Structure 1
Amino acid sequence: MKKIKEYILITIGLIFVAAGIVYFLVPNDLAAGGVSGLAMVINYYVPSLSVGTFMLIANLVLFIVAFLLIGPSFGAKTIYASLGLSGIIWIMEKFFPISQPLTNNLLLELIYGILISGAGMGIVFNQNASTGGTDIIAKILNKFFHFNIGKALLISDLVVTLGALVTFGAEKGMYALLGVIINGFVIDEVIQGINMVKEVKIISYRNEEIKKFIMDELGRGLTIYYAKGGFTNEEKEMLVVLLSRREFIRLREYIKEIDDRAFITVSNVHEVFGEGFKSFD
Protein backbone atom coordinates (compact mmCIF):
# COMPACT_ATOMS: atom_id res chain seq x y z
CA MET A 1 0.00 0.00 0.00
CA LYS A 2 2.88 2.35 0.83
CA LYS A 3 4.49 1.68 -2.58
CA ILE A 4 1.22 2.41 -4.38
CA LYS A 5 0.89 5.72 -2.51
CA GLU A 6 4.48 6.65 -3.45
CA TYR A 7 3.87 5.99 -7.15
CA ILE A 8 0.58 7.93 -7.06
CA LEU A 9 2.38 10.93 -5.52
CA ILE A 10 5.20 10.64 -8.06
CA THR A 11 2.62 10.64 -10.88
CA ILE A 12 0.91 13.73 -9.46
CA GLY A 13 4.30 15.45 -9.25
CA LEU A 14 5.09 14.48 -12.85
CA ILE A 15 1.79 15.97 -14.06
CA PHE A 16 2.72 19.28 -12.37
CA VAL A 17 6.20 19.22 -13.92
CA ALA A 18 4.82 18.43 -17.37
CA ALA A 19 2.14 21.14 -17.14
CA GLY A 20 4.71 23.78 -16.18
CA ILE A 21 6.93 22.79 -19.12
CA VAL A 22 4.26 22.33 -21.81
CA TYR A 23 1.95 25.25 -21.01
CA PHE A 24 4.37 27.89 -19.76
CA LEU A 25 8.02 27.24 -20.62
CA VAL A 26 7.85 25.63 -24.08
CA PRO A 27 5.45 28.19 -25.70
CA ASN A 28 7.79 30.98 -24.58
CA ASP A 29 11.07 29.23 -25.53
CA LEU A 30 12.20 29.31 -21.89
CA ALA A 31 14.70 26.44 -21.74
CA ALA A 32 15.33 26.49 -17.99
CA GLY A 33 17.90 23.70 -17.82
CA GLY A 34 17.49 19.94 -17.77
CA VAL A 35 16.68 17.51 -20.57
CA SER A 36 13.41 19.39 -21.12
CA GLY A 37 15.37 22.57 -21.82
CA LEU A 38 17.69 20.72 -24.20
CA ALA A 39 14.63 19.23 -25.90
CA MET A 40 13.26 22.73 -26.51
CA VAL A 41 16.53 23.81 -28.13
CA ILE A 42 16.60 20.69 -30.35
CA ASN A 43 12.92 21.14 -31.21
CA TYR A 44 13.70 24.65 -32.51
CA TYR A 45 16.11 23.21 -35.09
CA VAL A 46 14.15 19.98 -35.73
CA PRO A 47 10.44 20.90 -35.35
CA SER A 48 9.31 17.41 -36.36
CA LEU A 49 10.91 16.05 -33.17
CA SER A 50 8.57 17.01 -30.33
CA VAL A 51 9.80 17.89 -26.84
CA GLY A 52 8.23 14.77 -25.33
CA THR A 53 9.65 12.44 -27.98
CA PHE A 54 13.17 13.87 -27.65
CA MET A 55 13.02 13.59 -23.85
CA LEU A 56 11.97 9.94 -24.14
CA ILE A 57 14.85 9.14 -26.52
CA ALA A 58 17.39 11.18 -24.50
CA ASN A 59 16.42 9.55 -21.21
CA LEU A 60 16.61 6.04 -22.71
CA VAL A 61 20.09 6.80 -24.09
CA LEU A 62 21.20 8.32 -20.77
CA PHE A 63 19.97 5.29 -18.83
CA ILE A 64 21.90 2.95 -21.12
CA VAL A 65 25.06 5.09 -20.82
CA ALA A 66 24.65 5.33 -17.05
CA PHE A 67 24.10 1.56 -16.77
CA LEU A 68 27.35 0.96 -18.68
CA LEU A 69 29.45 3.65 -16.99
CA ILE A 70 28.04 3.76 -13.44
CA GLY A 71 26.38 0.39 -13.02
CA PRO A 72 22.84 -0.89 -12.34
CA SER A 73 22.31 1.39 -9.36
CA PHE A 74 19.18 3.21 -10.56
CA GLY A 75 15.95 2.48 -8.71
CA ALA A 76 12.63 1.59 -10.29
CA LYS A 77 11.11 4.87 -9.11
CA THR A 78 13.68 6.95 -10.97
CA ILE A 79 13.15 4.96 -14.17
CA TYR A 80 9.38 5.32 -13.77
CA ALA A 81 9.61 9.07 -13.10
CA SER A 82 12.01 9.70 -15.97
CA LEU A 83 10.07 7.81 -18.62
CA GLY A 84 6.74 8.84 -17.10
CA LEU A 85 7.53 12.54 -17.44
CA SER A 86 8.46 12.09 -21.10
CA GLY A 87 5.22 10.17 -21.69
CA ILE A 88 3.00 12.72 -19.93
CA ILE A 89 4.58 15.59 -21.88
CA TRP A 90 4.02 13.66 -25.14
CA ILE A 91 0.33 13.10 -24.22
CA MET A 92 -0.17 16.80 -23.37
CA GLU A 93 1.49 17.90 -26.62
CA LYS A 94 -0.51 15.38 -28.66
CA PHE A 95 -3.97 15.64 -27.15
CA PHE A 96 -4.02 18.93 -25.17
CA PRO A 97 -1.76 21.29 -27.13
CA ILE A 98 -1.70 25.08 -27.05
CA SER A 99 -0.82 27.12 -30.14
CA GLN A 100 0.50 30.24 -28.41
CA PRO A 101 1.54 31.53 -24.96
CA LEU A 102 -1.25 32.09 -22.46
CA THR A 103 -0.17 35.72 -21.91
CA ASN A 104 2.16 38.26 -23.47
CA ASN A 105 4.13 38.64 -20.24
CA LEU A 106 7.34 36.61 -20.44
CA LEU A 107 8.26 37.09 -16.77
CA LEU A 108 4.79 36.03 -15.61
CA GLU A 109 4.96 32.90 -17.76
CA LEU A 110 8.42 32.07 -16.38
CA ILE A 111 7.34 32.48 -12.76
CA TYR A 112 4.22 30.34 -13.14
CA GLY A 113 6.06 27.72 -15.19
CA ILE A 114 8.86 27.41 -12.63
CA LEU A 115 6.47 27.45 -9.63
CA ILE A 116 4.30 24.68 -11.09
CA SER A 117 7.13 22.48 -12.38
CA GLY A 118 9.29 23.16 -9.30
CA ALA A 119 6.43 22.13 -7.00
CA GLY A 120 6.07 18.93 -9.00
CA MET A 121 9.80 18.23 -8.81
CA GLY A 122 9.65 18.75 -5.05
CA ILE A 123 6.90 16.13 -4.77
CA VAL A 124 8.90 13.67 -6.90
CA PHE A 125 12.15 14.22 -4.97
CA ASN A 126 10.29 13.84 -1.67
CA GLN A 127 9.34 10.29 -2.71
CA ASN A 128 13.06 9.48 -3.12
CA ALA A 129 12.85 9.55 -6.93
CA SER A 130 14.23 11.79 -9.65
CA THR A 131 13.34 12.46 -13.26
CA GLY A 132 16.72 11.32 -14.56
CA GLY A 133 18.09 13.56 -17.30
CA THR A 134 20.70 15.95 -15.97
CA ASP A 135 20.82 13.98 -12.70
CA ILE A 136 22.38 11.14 -14.68
CA ILE A 137 24.79 13.51 -16.44
CA ALA A 138 25.78 14.89 -13.02
CA LYS A 139 26.52 11.37 -11.71
CA ILE A 140 28.71 10.62 -14.74
CA LEU A 141 30.64 13.90 -14.27
CA ASN A 142 30.97 13.10 -10.58
CA LYS A 143 32.44 9.65 -11.23
CA PHE A 144 34.90 10.50 -13.99
CA PHE A 145 35.78 14.15 -13.36
CA HIS A 146 35.27 14.26 -9.56
CA PHE A 147 32.81 17.17 -9.60
CA ASN A 148 30.42 17.13 -6.66
CA ILE A 149 26.79 16.46 -7.64
CA GLY A 150 25.62 20.05 -7.05
CA LYS A 151 28.31 21.58 -9.25
CA ALA A 152 27.81 18.94 -11.92
CA LEU A 153 24.07 19.69 -12.05
CA LEU A 154 24.79 23.41 -12.28
CA ILE A 155 27.27 22.83 -15.13
CA SER A 156 24.81 20.72 -17.14
CA ASP A 157 21.99 23.23 -16.63
CA LEU A 158 24.26 26.15 -17.54
CA VAL A 159 25.25 24.39 -20.79
CA VAL A 160 21.55 23.98 -21.66
CA THR A 161 20.89 27.63 -20.75
CA LEU A 162 23.81 28.72 -22.95
CA GLY A 163 22.21 26.76 -25.80
CA ALA A 164 18.95 28.62 -25.14
CA LEU A 165 20.79 31.95 -25.24
CA VAL A 166 22.34 31.11 -28.63
CA THR A 167 19.09 29.69 -30.02
CA PHE A 168 16.41 32.03 -28.65
CA GLY A 169 18.41 35.22 -28.03
CA ALA A 170 19.97 36.96 -25.04
CA GLU A 171 16.70 38.03 -23.38
CA LYS A 172 15.12 34.57 -23.28
CA GLY A 173 18.48 33.03 -22.38
CA MET A 174 18.75 35.34 -19.38
CA TYR A 175 15.16 34.51 -18.37
CA ALA A 176 16.04 30.80 -18.66
CA LEU A 177 19.05 31.28 -16.36
CA LEU A 178 16.81 33.09 -13.88
CA GLY A 179 14.43 30.13 -14.09
CA VAL A 180 17.23 27.67 -13.26
CA ILE A 181 18.09 29.68 -10.14
CA ILE A 182 14.46 30.09 -8.99
CA ASN A 183 13.73 26.40 -9.64
CA GLY A 184 16.30 25.27 -7.06
CA PHE A 185 14.74 27.48 -4.37
CA VAL A 186 11.19 26.33 -5.21
CA ILE A 187 12.12 22.63 -5.01
CA ASP A 188 13.82 23.12 -1.62
CA GLU A 189 10.86 25.05 -0.20
CA VAL A 190 8.34 22.46 -1.38
CA ILE A 191 10.33 19.57 0.13
CA GLN A 192 10.72 21.44 3.43
CA GLY A 193 7.02 22.35 3.48
CA ILE A 194 5.91 18.76 2.87
CA ASN A 195 8.19 17.32 5.55
CA MET A 196 7.72 20.04 8.16
CA VAL A 197 6.39 18.93 11.55
CA LYS A 198 5.72 20.76 14.80
CA GLU A 199 7.86 20.27 17.89
CA VAL A 200 5.56 21.06 20.82
CA LYS A 201 6.76 21.62 24.40
CA ILE A 202 4.08 21.63 27.09
CA ILE A 203 4.09 22.50 30.79
CA SER A 204 0.73 21.96 32.48
CA TYR A 205 -0.86 20.84 35.72
CA ARG A 206 -2.93 18.39 33.64
CA ASN A 207 0.01 16.47 32.17
CA GLU A 208 -1.48 13.01 32.79
CA GLU A 209 -4.58 13.79 30.73
CA ILE A 210 -2.45 15.41 28.00
CA LYS A 211 -0.09 12.42 27.86
CA LYS A 212 -3.05 10.06 27.54
CA PHE A 213 -4.55 12.18 24.73
CA ILE A 214 -1.25 12.28 22.81
CA MET A 215 -0.67 8.53 23.05
CA ASP A 216 -4.24 7.24 22.76
CA GLU A 217 -5.95 9.78 20.51
CA LEU A 218 -3.06 11.01 18.35
CA GLY A 219 -1.08 7.78 18.40
CA ARG A 220 2.20 9.57 19.06
CA GLY A 221 4.99 8.95 21.51
CA LEU A 222 6.47 11.72 23.62
CA THR A 223 9.48 12.57 25.76
CA ILE A 224 9.33 13.85 29.34
CA TYR A 225 11.88 16.32 30.68
CA TYR A 226 12.04 17.62 34.23
CA ALA A 227 12.35 21.39 34.49
CA LYS A 228 12.55 23.84 37.38
CA GLY A 229 10.86 27.24 37.29
CA GLY A 230 13.36 30.08 37.67
CA PHE A 231 10.89 32.26 39.58
CA THR A 232 9.03 29.66 41.67
CA ASN A 233 11.84 27.06 42.04
CA GLU A 234 9.08 24.51 41.49
CA GLU A 235 9.95 21.30 39.58
CA LYS A 236 7.57 20.37 36.76
CA GLU A 237 7.30 17.88 33.91
CA MET A 238 7.77 19.23 30.40
CA LEU A 239 6.24 17.13 27.62
CA VAL A 240 7.92 17.22 24.20
CA VAL A 241 6.16 15.74 21.17
CA LEU A 242 6.53 15.90 17.38
CA LEU A 243 3.26 16.25 15.47
CA SER A 244 1.90 17.01 12.03
CA ARG A 245 0.13 20.34 11.63
CA ARG A 246 -3.28 18.69 11.79
CA GLU A 247 -2.36 16.75 14.94
CA PHE A 248 -1.02 19.91 16.58
CA ILE A 249 -4.32 21.72 16.00
CA ARG A 250 -6.19 18.85 17.67
CA LEU A 251 -3.80 18.89 20.65
CA ARG A 252 -3.99 22.65 21.00
CA GLU A 253 -7.79 22.58 21.10
CA TYR A 254 -7.75 19.77 23.68
CA ILE A 255 -5.30 21.59 25.97
CA LYS A 256 -7.35 24.77 25.62
CA GLU A 257 -10.41 22.88 26.91
CA ILE A 258 -8.77 21.30 29.97
CA ASP A 259 -6.08 23.84 30.95
CA ASP A 260 -6.19 27.29 29.39
CA ARG A 261 -3.22 28.31 31.60
CA ALA A 262 -0.88 25.70 30.14
CA PHE A 263 2.48 26.95 28.81
CA ILE A 264 3.16 25.79 25.24
CA THR A 265 5.97 26.57 22.80
CA VAL A 266 5.92 25.43 19.17
CA SER A 267 8.82 25.15 16.71
CA ASN A 268 8.99 24.06 13.08
CA VAL A 269 11.17 21.02 12.37
CA HIS A 270 11.96 20.54 8.69
CA GLU A 271 12.63 16.79 8.69
CA VAL A 272 12.20 13.90 11.12
CA PHE A 273 13.45 10.36 10.60
CA GLY A 274 12.40 7.37 12.65
CA GLU A 275 9.34 5.50 13.83
CA GLY A 276 6.10 7.20 12.86
CA PHE A 277 7.84 9.60 10.45
CA LYS A 278 10.17 9.24 7.45
CA SER A 279 12.21 6.10 6.92
CA PHE A 280 15.98 6.42 6.58
CA ASP A 281 15.60 4.59 3.24
Structure 2
Amino acid sequence: MKGHLKNFTLLTVSTLIMAVGIYFFKFANNFTFGGITGFAVLVAKFTPLSASDFSFIANMLLLIIGLFVLGKKFAAQTSYSSILLSVTLSGLERIYPMSHPLTNEPLLELIFAIVLPAIGSAILFNIGASSGGTDVIAMILKKYTSVDIGKGLLASDILFTIAGFFVFDIKTGLYSLLGLTMRSTLIDSLIESLNRSKYFHVVCSEPEPICEFIKNDLKRGATIVLAQGAFTGDDKYIILTVLSPNEAIKLRNFIKAHTTGAFLLISNTSEIIGKGFHSV
Protein backbone atom coordinates (compact mmCIF):
# COMPACT_ATOMS: atom_id res chain seq x y z
CA MET A 1 0.00 0.00 0.00
CA LYS A 2 2.83 2.37 0.92
CA GLY A 3 4.56 1.63 -2.41
CA HIS A 4 1.37 2.32 -4.39
CA LEU A 5 0.86 5.62 -2.54
CA LYS A 6 4.45 6.65 -3.27
CA ASN A 7 4.06 5.82 -6.97
CA PHE A 8 0.76 7.70 -7.16
CA THR A 9 2.33 10.76 -5.50
CA LEU A 10 5.32 10.65 -7.88
CA LEU A 11 3.01 10.29 -10.89
CA THR A 12 0.94 13.29 -9.80
CA VAL A 13 3.79 15.60 -8.83
CA SER A 14 5.91 14.83 -11.90
CA THR A 15 2.97 15.33 -14.26
CA LEU A 16 2.06 18.67 -12.68
CA ILE A 17 5.69 19.81 -12.95
CA MET A 18 5.59 18.95 -16.66
CA ALA A 19 2.32 20.84 -17.12
CA VAL A 20 3.70 24.02 -15.54
CA GLY A 21 6.81 23.95 -17.72
CA ILE A 22 4.85 23.25 -20.90
CA TYR A 23 2.05 25.78 -20.39
CA PHE A 24 3.84 28.76 -18.85
CA PHE A 25 7.13 28.53 -20.73
CA LYS A 26 6.83 26.31 -23.81
CA PHE A 27 3.42 27.25 -25.20
CA ALA A 28 3.79 30.92 -24.33
CA ASN A 29 7.03 31.20 -26.33
CA ASN A 30 5.97 28.99 -29.29
CA PHE A 31 8.82 26.53 -28.68
CA THR A 32 8.20 23.61 -31.05
CA PHE A 33 10.39 20.83 -29.64
CA GLY A 34 9.03 17.83 -27.78
CA GLY A 35 6.54 15.50 -29.47
CA ILE A 36 2.80 16.19 -29.23
CA THR A 37 3.17 19.45 -27.29
CA GLY A 38 5.66 20.73 -29.88
CA PHE A 39 3.28 19.81 -32.69
CA ALA A 40 0.45 21.49 -30.75
CA VAL A 41 2.28 24.81 -30.94
CA LEU A 42 2.31 24.55 -34.75
CA VAL A 43 -1.35 23.48 -34.94
CA ALA A 44 -2.42 26.40 -32.75
CA LYS A 45 -0.89 28.80 -35.26
CA PHE A 46 -3.15 27.65 -38.11
CA THR A 47 -6.36 26.50 -36.41
CA PRO A 48 -8.86 27.88 -33.89
CA LEU A 49 -7.64 25.27 -31.39
CA SER A 50 -5.25 26.38 -28.69
CA ALA A 51 -2.09 24.37 -28.03
CA SER A 52 -3.57 23.13 -24.73
CA ASP A 53 -6.82 21.96 -26.32
CA PHE A 54 -5.06 20.25 -29.22
CA SER A 55 -2.76 18.45 -26.74
CA PHE A 56 -5.83 17.28 -24.84
CA ILE A 57 -7.56 15.94 -27.99
CA ALA A 58 -4.41 14.32 -29.38
CA ASN A 59 -3.49 12.65 -26.09
CA MET A 60 -7.00 11.30 -25.58
CA LEU A 61 -7.12 9.88 -29.12
CA LEU A 62 -3.70 8.27 -28.70
CA LEU A 63 -4.74 6.91 -25.30
CA ILE A 64 -7.85 5.26 -26.79
CA ILE A 65 -5.83 3.82 -29.69
CA GLY A 66 -3.22 2.57 -27.24
CA LEU A 67 -5.90 0.91 -25.10
CA PHE A 68 -7.22 -1.11 -28.04
CA VAL A 69 -3.86 -1.89 -29.62
CA LEU A 70 -1.65 -2.35 -26.56
CA GLY A 71 -4.18 -3.58 -24.00
CA LYS A 72 -5.23 -2.84 -20.42
CA LYS A 73 -1.72 -3.03 -18.99
CA PHE A 74 -0.74 -0.06 -21.16
CA ALA A 75 -3.78 1.90 -19.97
CA ALA A 76 -2.99 1.27 -16.32
CA GLN A 77 0.56 2.57 -16.71
CA THR A 78 -0.13 5.57 -18.93
CA SER A 79 -3.73 6.78 -18.68
CA TYR A 80 -3.51 8.60 -15.33
CA SER A 81 -0.51 10.76 -16.26
CA SER A 82 -1.76 11.38 -19.79
CA ILE A 83 -5.23 12.46 -18.64
CA LEU A 84 -3.87 14.56 -15.75
CA LEU A 85 -1.41 16.35 -18.05
CA SER A 86 -4.07 17.06 -20.70
CA VAL A 87 -6.70 18.23 -18.20
CA THR A 88 -4.18 20.41 -16.33
CA LEU A 89 -3.03 22.13 -19.53
CA SER A 90 -6.62 22.88 -20.57
CA GLY A 91 -7.48 23.98 -17.04
CA LEU A 92 -4.51 26.36 -16.82
CA GLU A 93 -5.55 27.93 -20.12
CA ARG A 94 -8.95 28.80 -18.67
CA ILE A 95 -7.78 29.77 -15.19
CA TYR A 96 -4.73 31.76 -16.30
CA PRO A 97 -4.94 32.63 -20.02
CA MET A 98 -1.64 33.89 -21.47
CA SER A 99 -1.35 36.18 -24.47
CA HIS A 100 2.42 36.69 -24.09
CA PRO A 101 5.40 35.15 -22.25
CA LEU A 102 5.86 35.69 -18.53
CA THR A 103 9.09 37.65 -19.00
CA ASN A 104 11.11 39.41 -21.68
CA GLU A 105 13.96 36.90 -21.29
CA PRO A 106 13.44 34.10 -23.86
CA LEU A 107 16.63 32.28 -22.86
CA LEU A 108 15.51 32.15 -19.23
CA GLU A 109 12.10 30.87 -20.29
CA LEU A 110 13.70 28.27 -22.58
CA ILE A 111 15.64 26.93 -19.60
CA PHE A 112 12.41 26.46 -17.62
CA ALA A 113 10.67 25.03 -20.71
CA ILE A 114 13.40 22.38 -20.86
CA VAL A 115 14.15 21.74 -17.19
CA LEU A 116 10.64 21.41 -15.73
CA PRO A 117 9.30 18.89 -18.30
CA ALA A 118 12.65 17.07 -18.19
CA ILE A 119 12.38 16.65 -14.41
CA GLY A 120 8.81 15.39 -14.75
CA SER A 121 9.71 13.00 -17.58
CA ALA A 122 12.75 11.68 -15.72
CA ILE A 123 10.66 10.85 -12.64
CA LEU A 124 8.02 9.13 -14.79
CA PHE A 125 10.54 7.11 -16.78
CA ASN A 126 12.33 6.17 -13.55
CA ILE A 127 9.19 4.52 -12.13
CA GLY A 128 8.30 2.88 -15.44
CA ALA A 129 5.51 5.26 -16.45
CA SER A 130 4.98 7.81 -19.22
CA SER A 131 2.83 10.82 -19.99
CA GLY A 132 1.49 9.37 -23.23
CA GLY A 133 1.78 11.44 -26.42
CA THR A 134 4.43 10.19 -28.84
CA ASP A 135 5.39 7.46 -26.35
CA VAL A 136 2.15 5.72 -27.40
CA ILE A 137 3.15 5.91 -31.06
CA ALA A 138 6.57 4.50 -30.17
CA MET A 139 5.03 1.56 -28.29
CA ILE A 140 2.67 0.73 -31.18
CA LEU A 141 5.47 0.88 -33.76
CA LYS A 142 7.67 -1.26 -31.52
CA LYS A 143 4.94 -3.91 -31.32
CA TYR A 144 4.28 -4.23 -35.06
CA THR A 145 7.45 -3.13 -36.84
CA SER A 146 11.23 -3.35 -36.65
CA VAL A 147 11.58 0.42 -37.02
CA ASP A 148 14.22 2.09 -34.85
CA ILE A 149 11.77 3.93 -32.58
CA GLY A 150 14.29 6.32 -31.05
CA LYS A 151 15.45 7.55 -34.44
CA GLY A 152 11.87 7.79 -35.70
CA LEU A 153 10.74 9.96 -32.80
CA LEU A 154 13.90 12.07 -33.04
CA ALA A 155 13.18 12.62 -36.74
CA SER A 156 9.62 13.79 -36.00
CA ASP A 157 10.91 16.10 -33.28
CA ILE A 158 13.45 17.56 -35.69
CA LEU A 159 10.74 18.17 -38.30
CA PHE A 160 8.51 19.98 -35.78
CA THR A 161 11.49 22.03 -34.60
CA ILE A 162 12.58 23.01 -38.10
CA ALA A 163 9.01 23.99 -38.91
CA GLY A 164 9.29 26.59 -36.15
CA PHE A 165 11.80 28.51 -38.29
CA PHE A 166 9.19 28.96 -41.05
CA VAL A 167 5.99 29.23 -39.01
CA PHE A 168 7.31 31.74 -36.48
CA ASP A 169 10.75 33.34 -36.88
CA ILE A 170 14.45 32.47 -36.86
CA LYS A 171 14.91 33.38 -33.20
CA THR A 172 12.07 31.10 -32.07
CA GLY A 173 13.37 28.33 -34.33
CA LEU A 174 16.88 28.62 -32.93
CA TYR A 175 15.60 28.51 -29.34
CA SER A 176 13.51 25.44 -30.21
CA LEU A 177 16.50 23.75 -31.82
CA LEU A 178 18.57 24.46 -28.72
CA GLY A 179 15.78 23.06 -26.56
CA LEU A 180 15.60 19.87 -28.64
CA THR A 181 19.37 19.40 -28.34
CA MET A 182 19.41 19.84 -24.57
CA ARG A 183 16.19 18.01 -23.66
CA SER A 184 17.14 14.36 -24.17
CA THR A 185 20.59 14.84 -22.65
CA LEU A 186 19.10 16.46 -19.57
CA ILE A 187 16.50 13.70 -19.11
CA ASP A 188 19.21 11.02 -19.29
CA SER A 189 21.34 12.91 -16.77
CA LEU A 190 18.43 13.36 -14.37
CA ILE A 191 17.48 9.67 -14.53
CA GLU A 192 21.10 8.76 -13.79
CA SER A 193 21.15 11.17 -10.84
CA LEU A 194 17.92 9.72 -9.41
CA ASN A 195 19.42 6.20 -9.53
CA ARG A 196 22.95 7.07 -8.46
CA SER A 197 24.54 4.72 -5.93
CA LYS A 198 28.06 4.09 -4.63
CA TYR A 199 29.83 0.84 -5.49
CA PHE A 200 32.44 -0.22 -2.91
CA HIS A 201 35.48 -2.47 -3.29
CA VAL A 202 37.02 -2.77 0.16
CA VAL A 203 40.30 -4.70 0.33
CA CYS A 204 41.15 -5.69 3.92
CA SER A 205 42.54 -8.41 6.17
CA GLU A 206 39.60 -8.59 8.61
CA PRO A 207 36.24 -8.29 6.85
CA GLU A 208 33.98 -9.24 9.80
CA PRO A 209 33.64 -5.80 11.52
CA ILE A 210 32.95 -4.07 8.20
CA CYS A 211 30.37 -6.67 7.11
CA GLU A 212 28.67 -6.52 10.52
CA PHE A 213 28.35 -2.76 10.17
CA ILE A 214 26.94 -3.11 6.64
CA LYS A 215 24.39 -5.75 7.73
CA ASN A 216 23.35 -4.44 11.15
CA ASP A 217 23.67 -0.66 10.86
CA LEU A 218 23.10 -0.01 7.16
CA LYS A 219 20.70 -2.95 6.60
CA ARG A 220 22.46 -3.82 3.36
CA GLY A 221 24.07 -6.92 1.93
CA ALA A 222 27.67 -7.57 0.94
CA THR A 223 29.77 -10.18 -0.83
CA ILE A 224 33.19 -11.33 0.38
CA VAL A 225 35.80 -12.54 -2.12
CA LEU A 226 39.02 -14.24 -1.05
CA ALA A 227 42.04 -12.69 -2.74
CA GLN A 228 45.81 -12.55 -2.50
CA GLY A 229 48.07 -9.51 -2.37
CA ALA A 230 50.28 -9.39 -5.48
CA PHE A 231 53.22 -7.80 -3.66
CA THR A 232 53.17 -9.56 -0.26
CA GLY A 233 51.38 -12.78 -1.18
CA ASP A 234 49.24 -12.42 1.96
CA ASP A 235 45.61 -13.51 2.01
CA LYS A 236 43.20 -10.59 1.59
CA TYR A 237 39.44 -10.18 1.41
CA ILE A 238 37.50 -8.00 -1.01
CA ILE A 239 34.12 -6.77 0.24
CA LEU A 240 31.70 -5.80 -2.53
CA THR A 241 28.62 -3.73 -1.71
CA VAL A 242 26.37 -1.05 -3.20
CA LEU A 243 25.00 1.77 -1.06
CA SER A 244 23.10 5.02 -1.33
CA PRO A 245 25.24 8.20 -1.16
CA ASN A 246 24.26 8.79 2.50
CA GLU A 247 25.03 5.17 3.44
CA ALA A 248 28.34 5.41 1.59
CA ILE A 249 29.46 8.29 3.80
CA LYS A 250 28.63 6.27 6.94
CA LEU A 251 30.57 3.23 5.73
CA ARG A 252 33.55 5.30 4.67
CA ASN A 253 33.68 7.01 8.08
CA PHE A 254 33.31 3.66 9.89
CA ILE A 255 36.19 2.10 7.95
CA LYS A 256 38.36 5.14 8.53
CA ALA A 257 37.70 5.06 12.29
CA HIS A 258 37.79 1.30 12.96
CA THR A 259 39.93 -0.37 10.29
CA THR A 260 43.61 0.11 9.57
CA GLY A 261 45.23 -0.81 6.28
CA ALA A 262 41.98 -1.10 4.32
CA PHE A 263 42.07 -0.10 0.68
CA LEU A 264 38.86 1.44 -0.73
CA LEU A 265 37.70 1.89 -4.30
CA ILE A 266 34.43 3.85 -4.52
CA SER A 267 32.71 4.51 -7.83
CA ASN A 268 29.39 5.96 -8.99
CA THR A 269 26.87 3.63 -10.60
CA SER A 270 23.24 3.98 -11.67
CA GLU A 271 22.41 0.55 -13.13
CA ILE A 272 21.73 -1.60 -10.05
CA ILE A 273 19.33 -4.51 -10.52
CA GLY A 274 18.52 -6.79 -7.62
CA LYS A 275 17.03 -6.97 -4.15
CA GLY A 276 16.95 -3.58 -2.44
CA PHE A 277 17.30 -1.72 -5.74
CA HIS A 278 15.52 -2.25 -9.09
CA SER A 279 13.79 -5.57 -9.64
CA VAL A 280 14.88 -7.74 -12.55
Q: Which residue of 2 aligns with 1:43?
A: 44
Q: Which deviates more from structure 2 when the two are superposed, residues 191-200 or residues 89-98?
A: 89-98
Aligned residues: 279
Q: For 2:259 and 2:144, how far apart are their aligned partners in 1?
A: 62
Match of 2:239 in 1: 239
2:74 match: secondary structure: coil
Q: For each residue in 1:48-85, what CA deviation from the matched residue of structure 2 results, as whole angstroms up to 9, or x when unmatched?
A: x3333322211111122334445555141211111111
CA distance in 2, matches of 1:121, 1:144: 25
User: How big is the shift at 1:142?
Assistant: 4.2
Q: Deviations over 1:109-136 (max 9, x none)?
A: 2223112211211111111011111112
Aligned counterparts of 1:68 and 1:76: Cα–Cα separation in 2: 13
Q: 19-28 vs 200-209, which deviates more?
A: 200-209
Partner Cα separation in structure 1 for residue 190 and residue 114 of structure 2 = 12
Partner Cα separation in structure 1 for residue 70 and residue 149 of structure 2: 14
What is the alpha-carbon distance in structure 2 between the residues aligned to residue 193 and residue 271 of structure 1?
11
Which of 239-248 and 134-143 deviates more? 134-143
1:96-111 aligned at under 5 Å gives the runs 96-111=96-111
Q: Which residue of 1 aligns with 2:267?
A: 267
Which residue number in structure 2 is paired with residue 180 of structure 1?
Answer: 180
Question: What is the CA distance between 1:4 and its match in structure 2?
Answer: 1.6
2:24 corresponding residue in structure 1 = 23
Mapping of residues 192-231 of structure 1, within 5 Å: 192-231=192-231
Separation in 2, partners of 1:199, 1:240: 8
CA contact (8 A) 2:23 2:92 kept: yes
Which residue is equivalent to 2:191?
191
8 Å contact kept, 2:23–2:52: no
Alignment-mate amino acid for residue 29 of structure 2: N
Would you say the 8 A contact 2:63–2:75 is kept in 1?
no
- Unpaired runs of 5+ residues, structure 1, are none
* 1:7 aligned residue: 8
The DSSP-based 3-state class of the residue aligned with 1:31 is coil
* Equivalent residues of 1:134, 1:157 under 8 A apart: no
Q: Which amino acid aligns with 1:267?
A: S
**Alignment RMSD (CA, Å):** 2.2
Give per-residue Cα distances to partners, 1:187-217, cap 9 Å, x unaligned: 1111111112111111234521111110011
Between 1:85-94 and 1:268-277, the stretch displaced more is: 85-94
Residues 256 and 145 of structure 1, relative CA distance in 2, 3 Å threshold: closer
Counterparts of 1:117 and 1:67, CA distance in 2: 25
TM-score normalized with structure 2 length: 0.90
Q: Contact between 1:134 and 1:156, CA under 8 Å: does it hold in 2?
A: no
Note the C-alpha offset of 1:159. Answer: 3.4
Residue by residue, what CA displacement relative to the aligned partner does 1:93-115 show, whole Å, maximum 9, x if unpaired? 33345553233332332223112
CA contact (8 A) 1:206 1:258 kept: no
In the alignment, the residues of structure 2 paired with residue 276 and residue 175 of structure 1 have an alpha-carbon distance, to the nearest angstrom, of: 42
Question: Normalized against structure 1, the TM-score is what?
Answer: 0.90
Deviation, 1:45, is: 2.9
Alignment-derived partner of residue 80 in structure 1: 80
Amino acid at match of 1:234: D
1:201 partner SS: strand
Structure 2 Cα separation of the partners of residues 75 and 279 of structure 1? 22
Once the two structures are TM-superposed, the CA of residue 33 in structure 1 deviates from its matched residue by 2.4
CA distance in 1, matches of 2:235, 2:91: 65
The CA distance in 2 between the partners of 1:50 and 1:275, in whole Å, is 47
Partners of 1:70 and 1:215 lie apart in 2 by 43
Counterpart-to-counterpart distance in 2, 1:102 and 1:68 = 40
* Identical counterparts, % of pairs: 38
* Separation in structure 1 between the aligned mates of residue 62 and residue 234 of structure 2, nearest angstrom: 65
CA separation in 2, counterparts of 1:71 and 1:142?
A: 14
Cα distance per residue 1:204-246 (max 9 Å; x no partner): 3452111111001111110111122222221111111011111
Cα separation, 1, equivalents of 2:236 and 2:144: 58
Counterpart amino acid of residue 63 in structure 1: L
Whole-angstrom CA distance in 2 between matches of 1:250 and 1:97 = 50
